[in-house]
Amino acid sequence: MSLEYRSPTTDEFATVLRAAAAAFGDEPKEDDIERQRRLMPSDRVLAAWDAGRPVGVTASYPFELTIPGGHVPAAGVTWVGVLPSHRRQGVLRELMRRQLDDVHERGEPLAILWASESVIYGRFGYGMAAPVTELDAERNAFALRDDPGPRGSVQLVTADEAAELFPPIYERVRGERPGMLSRSDDAWRYGRLADPEHWREGSGPKFYALLDIDGESLGFALYRIASKWDGGTPQGEVRVVEALATTPEATAEIWRFLFGIDLVVRLKSDAADPAWPLFLMVADPRRLHLSVSDGLWLRLVDLEAALHARSFAAGDPVVLQVSDDVFQRNAGRWTVGAEIVRSDQEPDVALDVADLASAYLGAFSFERLAAAGRARELRPGGLARATALFATPLPPYCPEGF
């Protein structure tokens, strides 16, 4: 096959987006196309063209990702798909390689994504970097341990009001939590707060709830209600899109509100915080029915820049032997500690760049990686020293797919 690889023109943007949707057996609505024109720069879209028609696509949003000790530019990879007529012919591999080269040229040390199929991305150097918790809770079983009673108040606001009130709360949380993403005004209005009917999947409209405690806005929730009645009794569910708060007390109160919604029997969320304090706050955590999903994946595109951008805990330095089949610039020995430098010393730990990505935000210790066969200790104490350096107070969390 002789294919052309390039970004679409302005006039071709909609055609490429339709091809990306078709790879998933779907088609975008007209408002989806206009929404993506606002959110996705066309020069960050890469398509494979066969006789003038797009047959494979990938793209990336320009994000800023919170990492331990700061923030770093990151390419939010999305729209990855190849039409059935052109699969298993190397198109996806070529798209991904070209995209990673482009990300590097843009000076973005990291690429991140949510995987439609988790088996795909390891071969391109991505590793699980911020797992999430899925919630399927029994509403009537909710009760807080040693409950002091409700604090503060919750009010429902409009989408326009939420666009003004929610971002400052989000930024307070994002500033301290690895794995969270920057949100522009357009990302709020045309992404997180938007509510086109075809996004509802059988539920009602999106609601916007704001929590105030002692006159200060400390939390918010986005949710929908899927109503259902059986034999005259309510069997509906609350579908939580996002619920964030700046303090443990505010976390308890925003979830107290959500669990207090009437005419439902379950609360569901597919991206809850893995360090959710509510798990330890409730009287019966089992009835929350929590499970773990892979969440955010990360690729260290420029390993040296990524390591320099991150802060490390106090501890003795460690020498990592890193392999990278895609980018030889990342491969080799790296001393990590007070300084980040290439090293000629004997390595303490050996691992692939994809597995280092799983430790980069603090999701997995090096001992856990080794137990899973994803890291090897080459010198005694190497795993422990690496874990101490990469440790974070809380695991990373990314509350939104893209």
- Sign (positive or negative) of CA dihedral 334, 335, 341, 346: negative
List, in order of start, the domains of the chain with CATH numbers: 4-124 (3.40.630.30), 133-295 (3.40.630.30), 303-390 (3.30.1050.10)
The pLDDT of residue 118 is 87
Give the tokens for residue 162: 């939420």
- Sign (positive or negative) of CA dihedral 17, 18, 24, 28: positive
- Sign (positive or negative) of CA dihedral 340, 343, 348, 351: positive
pLDDT tens-digit series, residues 284-321: 999 999 999 999 999 999 999 999 999 999 999 999 99
- Cα 350 to chain centroid, rounded: 27
The pLDDT of residue 1 is 67
The DSSP secondary structure of 94-124, one letter per residue, reads HHHHHHHHHHHHTT--EEEEE-SSTTTGGGG
Rounded-to-integer distance, Cα 303 and Cα 309, Å: 10
DSSP conformation class of 7: P
Closest CA to 166 of 226, 114, 241, 269: 241
Rounded-to-integer distance, Cα 319 and Cα 260, Å: 52
Q: Which residues contact 183 (CB under 8 A, 6 or more apart)?
A: 167, 170, 191, 192
Query: Residue 28: which region, alpha, beta or left (left: phi > 0; alpha: psi -120 to 50)?
Result: beta
Rounded-to-integer distance, Cα 103 and Cα 191, Å: 23
Query: In a structure prediction context, what are the per-residue pLDDT tens digits for the chain, which is 402 residues long?
Result: 699 999 999 999 999 999 999 999 999 999 999 999 999 999 999 999 999 999 999 999 999 999 999 999 999 999 999 999 999 999 999 999 999 999 999 999 999 999 999 899 999 999 999 999 999 999 999 999 999 999 999 999 999 999 999 999 999 999 999 999 999 999 999 999 999 999 999 999 999 999 999 999 999 999 999 999 999 999 999 999 999 999 999 999 999 999 999 999 999 999 999 999 999 999 999 999 999 999 999 999 999 999 999 999 999 999 999 999 999 999 999 999 999 999 999 999 999 999 999 999 999 999 999 999 999 999 999 999 999 999 999 999 999 999
The catalytic residues are 121, 402
Whether the predicted model's global pTM rises above the 0.85 cut: yes
For the chain, the maximum distance between any two Cα atoms, rounded to a whole number of angstroms, is 73
Rounded-to-integer distance, Cα 118 and Cα 123, Å: 10
